[in-house]
Amino acid sequence: MRNFWGQPVEFADLPLWRKTLIVLAMLSFFAFGGRLFNREVDIYVSAPSAANSATAEIYPVHVNHGYVRYLTRQEDADLAFWRAVTPAIVVGCIAGMALVWVTYRSH
């Protein structure tokens, strides 16, 4: 990868604090992105595909290419929270990794 000044920068050339920030951002990226993916897969395989008023699973959500599954109010709120928060965290992690890497300038 090249920095802002056009110099090639390898990961091994970075100072320890920059390597640490990049690794932490990568771990956060996979932790938060994986959490949302895992939640959506769990809903796809375990939630009913028809509303069930006996179990209060009456809130429709679209998962896995538009398939409709029904959740309880609490499950729906939990999924809505993760869907709202995860993109900002994931994009922030990617931007942070890139910024820390490309702003390095060797002397």
* Total structural domains within the chain: 1
pLDDT value at position 80?
96
In a domain, 4, yes or no: no
Inside any domain, residue 47: yes
Name the nearest CA neighbour of 29 among 100, 94, 85, 95: 94
pLDDT digits (tens, 9 = 90+) for 40-58: 999 999 999 999 999 999 9
Q: Identify whether the C-beta of residue 44 lies closer than 8 Å to the C-beta of residue 65.
A: no
Q: Is the pLDDT of residue 64 over 70?
A: yes
- Is residue 10 included in any domain, yes or no? no
Residue 20: domain span: 15-102
Q: Is 41 domain-assigned?
A: yes
> What is this structure's pTM?
0.77
Whose CA is closest to 75, among 99, 48, 96?
A: 48
The two structure tokens encoding residue 70: 């029904």
In a domain, 8, yes or no: no
